[in-house]
Amino acid sequence: MLRERRLHRPKAVAALRELADRQVNYEPLPGSRSRPTREACWSLDSLRHPIACEPSGDPEQGGAWEIACRLVRDYQFADPAILRSIYSGDGALLGRDMLLEGRFAGLRFDMGVRVTSVIDETRGCGGSESRVWGWSYQTLEGHLEQGELTYEVVKRLRTGAVEFCITGYSRRAPLTNPLIHAGFAAFGRPTQQRFYRASARRLQHLTHAELEGAAPLTPKTLPGYDSIVIAPNLWANTSSYRVCHGQ
């Protein structure tokens, strides 16, 4: 129980606030058109997972796309068995600092990230148009990794298919502790990939639960801290649902 409540402690809140003084822990890629490569030791990730169906055209008010966007904004989609987070609910999404608690091999690791971009656009043209909303974060000093991760909710306007897309690049940060280095080398990458798959499934479950009448998940604050949100909530509805695979 003590491990489950680590993020409820004043020490965790202090660590979150200290992130404001930390910088991104890797050099920006040279040039505006540069992309990370495996040759530069970056791991490249891409996942696309179906969420639900809507009628074709713009997203419906209160429909699957809007629900999924809210859950992604609030970090409710994350698999709590692998990652939980605290962040300030007072500020804008862009620039939000988040203290992530990573969980693997029975251990807990605190890792700071910062939201550095917000996506809100229509992509493509004609029959390939998609409505896209999401955000990206970059790792801060002290994180076990270096890199950027992007979460996007996409609606294909022609078919009505709503999808969750995760893209990113990462590599291990220099680690001075040999035990942490060995443990992260052994468990870090498999845990990272498992997190992507489990989180996409959780977003699918939560979106369908709301569409079927479940109460929306609302951000929960830490006891004694009106503005510090802990996410995700420890709840997920796994009732049956149908998924649209249209492209």
Structure-derived torsion over alpha carbons of residues 214, 226, 134, 17, reported in degrees to the nearest 10: -150
At residue 164, what are phi and psi to the nearest 5 degrees? Answer: -115, 125
pLDDT tens digits, residue range 182-208? 556 556 678 888 999 999 999 999 999
| Mean pLDDT score, 140-160 | 95
Minimum mean pLDDT among 25-34, 115-124, 150-159: which range?
A: 25-34
pLDDT tens digits, residue range 105-127? 677 889 999 999 999 999 998 88
Class for domain 42-231, per CATH? alpha beta
Residue 245 has pLDDT above 60, yes or no: no
pLDDT value at residue 52 = 97
| Mean pLDDT score, 16-25 | 97
pLDDT value at residue 15 = 96
**How large is the angle between the packed helices 64-73 and 178-211, nearest 10 degrees?**
150
At residue 224, what are phi and psi to the nearest 5 degrees? Answer: 90, -5
- pLDDT band at 32, cuts 50/70/90? very low
Write the secondary structure of 94-150 as one string of H (helix), E (strand) and C (coil): CCCEEEEEEEECCEEEEEEEEEEEEEEEEECCHHHCEEEEEEEEEEECCCCEEEEEE
Residue 212 has pLDDT above 90, yes or no: yes
Write the secondary structure of the chain as one string of H (helix), E (strand) and C (coil): CCHHHHHHCHHHHHHHHHHHHCCECCCCCCCCCCCCCHHHCCEEEEEEEEEEECCCCCCCCCCHHHHHHHHHHCCCCCCCCCEEEEEECCCCCCCCEEEEEEEECCEEEEEEEEEEEEEEEEECCHHHCEEEEEEEEEEECCCCEEEEEEEEEEEECCCCEEEEEEEEEEEECCCCCHHHHHHHHHHHHHHHHHHHHHHHHHHHHHHHHHHCCCCCCCCEECCCCCCEEEECCCCCCCCCCCCCCCC
Residue 243 has pLDDT above 60, yes or no: no
pLDDT value at residue 240 = 40
Nearest CA among 175, 222, 216, 173 for reference residue 62: 216
Query: Is the overall model pTM greater than 0.85, yes or no?
Result: yes
More confident residue, 181 or 85: 85
Could you state, in order of their start, the residue ranges of all structural domains in the chain?
42-231
- pLDDT band at 242, cuts 50/70/90? very low
What rounded mean pLDDT belongs to the chain?
87
pLDDT value at residue 1 = 36
More confident residue, 33 or 18: 18
pLDDT value at residue 200 = 98
pLDDT value at residue 6 = 83
| Mean pLDDT score, 160-171 | 96
pLDDT value at residue 4 = 60
